[in-house]
Amino acid sequence: MIIQNNSVFRKKNPFISLLALSLLLLASPVPVSAHSSGSLRQVRPMLYAPTGTSALAGRPIASPSRSPDSLPKTLCGSLPNGDSPGGVYKGAGGAFVEDWSTGNLVWCSGGTSTTIAMVPSGGSNIGYYGLAGIVTTTQGLVLILSSWGASGLWICFGATSSGCTSQSSFISLPSSFCSSEPSGICNPDGSVTDKKLNLYYVDILNEQLVECTHSSNYQSCTVEPASSAFSGFEPVNLAVYKGTFYVSDISCTGNVWAGTKSSMAVVASIGDSLQGIAVSKSNVGKVPEVYVGDDAFCSGGAAKLIDITDGGSVPSGFSSSNAIIGIDSKLQFASFTNGAVYQTKDTS
> Cis peptide leading into 68, omega within 30 of 0?
yes
**What is the full DSSP assignment across 249-269?**
E-STT-EEEEE-SS-EEEEEE
Instruction: State how far the alpha carbon of 25 is from the alpha carbons of 98, 127, 147, 337, in Å.
Output: 21, 16, 21, 13
pLDDT for position 239: 98
CATH architecture label of 6-343:
6 Propeller (2.120)
**305, 314 Cβ separation under 8 angstroms:** yes
pLDDT for position 109: 98
Residue from 195, 194, 309 nearest 261 by CA: 194
pLDDT for position 204: 98
**145, 131 Cβ separation under 8 angstroms:** yes
Task: For residue 314, give the H/E element and its range.
Answer: strand 313-314
**What is the full DSSP assignment across 33-67?**
EE-TTS-EEE---EE--SSSB-SSTTPBPPPTT-T
Distance of CA 178 to the CA centre of its chain: 22
Question: SS3 for 239?
Answer: strand
- How far apart are alpha carbons 228 and 226 in whole angstroms? 5
Residue from 213, 231, 235 nearest 222 by CA: 213
**276, 95 Cβ separation under 8 angstroms:** no
pLDDT for position 26: 36
Residue 324 pairs in a beta bridge with 335
pLDDT for position 50: 34
pLDDT for position 70: 55
Tens digit of pLDDT at every position of the chain (348 positions): 223 332 233 554 434 433 433 333 333 332 222 222 233 323 223 333 333 333 322 223 333 333 334 579 999 999 999 999 999 999 999 999 999 999 999 999 999 999 999 999 999 999 999 999 999 999 999 999 999 999 999 999 999 999 999 999 999 999 999 999 999 999 999 999 999 999 999 999 999 999 999 999 999 999 999 999 999 999 999 999 999 999 999 999 999 999 999 999 999 999 999 999 999 999 999 999 999 999 999 999 999 999 999 889 898 999 999 999 999 999 999 999 999 999 999 987
The burial class, CB within 10 Å (0-12 / 13-18 / 19+), for 286 is exposed
Q: Could you report how far apart the first and last alpha carbons of the chain are, in Å?
A: 44
pLDDT for position 62: 34
The identity of residue 78, as a single letter, is S
pTM: 0.84
pLDDT for position 347: 86
What ranges do the domains of the chain cover? 6-343
**228, 218 Cβ separation under 8 angstroms:** no
- How far apart are alpha carbons 79 and 100 in whole angstroms? 10
